Structure 1
Amino acid sequence: MSEASIKKITLLVTSLANFIFPFNVFAINIAIPAIGTEFSMDAFTLGWVSTGFLLASAIFLIPFGKVSDIYGRKRIFMLGLLIFSTVSIPLAFSTSPLMLIILRSIIGIGGAMFLGTLMAILTGVYPIGERGMAMGINTMAVSIGITSGPFLGGLLTQYFGWRSIFLVNFPVGMLIVALVLLKIKMEWKEAKGERFDVKGALLYGFMFLLVMYGITSLPSLQGIVMVVIGAITFPIFLKLEKKAKDPIINVSIFSGNRPFIFSNLAALIYFSATFAIIFILSLYLQFSKGYSPQDAGLILATQSILTIIFSPIAGRLTDRYGARLIASIGMLFTTSGTALLVSINEVTPLEFLIMNLVLLGLGAAFFNGPNQYAIMSSVEKRFLGVASGMLGTMRQIGQVLSMGIATIVLTLVVGKNQITPDSYPLFLVSAQILFVAFAIMCFFGLLASLVRGKI
Structure 2
Amino acid sequence: MKKKEITSNNFKEVVNMERSNSQTRITLVIVMITSFITPFISNAINLAIPSIGIEFGGNQNLLNWVVCGFLLSSAAFLLPFGRLADQFGRKKIFLIGMIFLAASSLACALATSLVALVYFRILQGIASAMIFSNSMAILTSVVPPESRGKALGLNAAATYIGLSCGPVLGGLITSVFTWRGVFYFNLLIALIIIVMTVWKLKGEWIGIATKFDIWGIILCIAAQVLLLFGLTALTNGLLYQVSFAVGILLLIVFFLYEKNHSNPLIPIESIIKNRPFVFSNLATLINYSATFALSFMLSLYLQTALKIDTATSGLILLVQPIIMAVLSPVTGTLSDKIKPAVLASLGMGISALGLFFFIFLSTQTPIVMIILNLAFIGLGFALFSSPNTNAIMSSVDRTLYGVASSIMGNMRLLGQSISIAIISLITSILMRNLSIGSAGYVDQLMLSLRTAFIIFVVLCVLGVLASLARGEVNREAEEN
What TM-score, normalized by structure 1, do the two folds share?
A: 0.98
Distance in structure 2 (CA, Å) of the matches to 1:375 and 1:387: 7
Q: Which among 84, 97, 109 is matched to residue 80 of structure 1?
A: 97
Asked whether the 8 Å contact 2:98–2:194 carries over to 1, the reply is: yes
Aligned to 1:160: 177
Distance in structure 2 (CA, Å) of the matches to 1:181 and 1:437: 47
AA aligned opposite 1:452: R
Asked whether the 8 Å contact 2:101–2:127 carries over to 1, the reply is: yes
Asked whether the 8 Å contact 1:65–1:116 carries over to 2, the reply is: yes
* 1:181 matches 2:205: no
Asked whether the 8 Å contact 1:143–1:308 carries over to 2, the reply is: yes
Asked whether the 8 Å contact 1:210–1:226 carries over to 2, the reply is: yes
Q: Output one character per residue of 1:406-431: Cα deviation in whole Å (capped at 9) or x when no partner.
A: 11111111113422242111011001
Aligned length: 454
Distance in structure 2 (CA, Å) of the matches to 1:256 and 1:212: 27
**Structure 1 segment 214-253 matched on structure 2, within 5 A:** 214-219=230-235, 220-253=237-270
Asked whether the 8 Å contact 2:19–2:142 carries over to 1, the reply is: no
| Identity within the alignment, % | 39
Change (3 A) 1:211 1:414: same
**Structure 1 segment 199-214 matched on structure 2, within 5 A:** 199-214=215-230
Distance in structure 1 (CA, Å) of the matches to 2:92 and 2:358: 45
Q: Which among 439, 445, 448 is matched to residue 463 of structure 2?
A: 445
**Structure 1 segment 253-292 matched on structure 2, within 5 A:** 253-292=270-309
Aligned to 1:170: 187
Asked whether the 8 Å contact 1:287–1:421 carries over to 2, the reply is: no
AA aligned opposite 2:218: L
Distance in structure 2 (CA, Å) of the matches to 1:165 and 1:234: 36
* Pairwise CA distance, 1:79: 1.0
* Pairwise CA distance, 1:27: 0.5
Aligned to 2:112: 95
Aligned to 2:46: 29
Aligned to 1:401: 418
Q: Output one character per residue of 1:86-125: Cα deviation in whole Å (capped at 9) or x when no partner.
A: 2211210110111100001101111111111111111111
Asked whether the 8 Å contact 1:73–1:117 carries over to 2, the reply is: yes
Asked whether the 8 Å contact 2:232–2:421 carries over to 1, the reply is: yes
**Secondary structure class of the residue paired with 2:337:** helix
* Pairwise CA distance, 1:253: 3.1
What TM-score, normalized by structure 2, do the two folds share?
A: 0.93
* Pairwise CA distance, 1:65: 0.3
* 1:197 matches 2:210: no
* Pairwise CA distance, 1:360: 1.3
**Secondary structure class of the residue paired with 1:178:** helix
Q: Output one character per residue of 1:350-396: Cα deviation in whole Å (capped at 9) or x when no partner.
A: 12111210111112211111111111111111111000000111111
Distance in structure 2 (CA, Å) of the matches to 1:122 and 1:454: 22
AA aligned opposite 1:433: T
Distance in structure 2 (CA, Å) of the matches to 1:127 and 1:279: 38
Distance in structure 1 (CA, Å) of the matches to 2:397 and 2:204: 16
* Pairwise CA distance, 1:158: 1.1
Aligned to 1:429: 447
Q: Which among 41, 59, 62 is matched to residue 42 of structure 1?
A: 59
Asked whether the 8 Å contact 1:66–1:196 carries over to 2, the reply is: no
* 1:350 matches 2:367: yes
Q: Output one character per residue of 1:228-270: Cα deviation in whole Å (capped at 9) or x when no partner.
A: 1111222211121122221111102323211100000000000
Aligned to 2:13: none
Aligned to 1:390: 407
Distance in structure 2 (CA, Å) of the matches to 1:2 and 1:413: 56
**Structure 1 segment 58-69 matched on structure 2, within 5 A:** 58-69=75-86
Question: Once structures 1 and 2 are overlaid, which stretch shifts more, 179-188 or 106-115?
Answer: 179-188
**Secondary structure class of the residue paired with 1:218:** coil
* CA RMSD after TM alignment: 1.1
Aligned to 1:151: 168
Q: Which among 339, 352, 374 is matched to residue 356 of structure 2?
A: 339
Distance in structure 1 (CA, Å) of the matches to 2:344 and 2:77: 27
Question: Once structures 1 and 2 are overlaid, which stretch shifts more, 174-183 or 139-148?
Answer: 174-183
Distance in structure 1 (CA, Å) of the matches to 2:19 and 2:61: 53
Asked whether the 8 Å contact 1:253–1:379 carries over to 2, the reply is: no
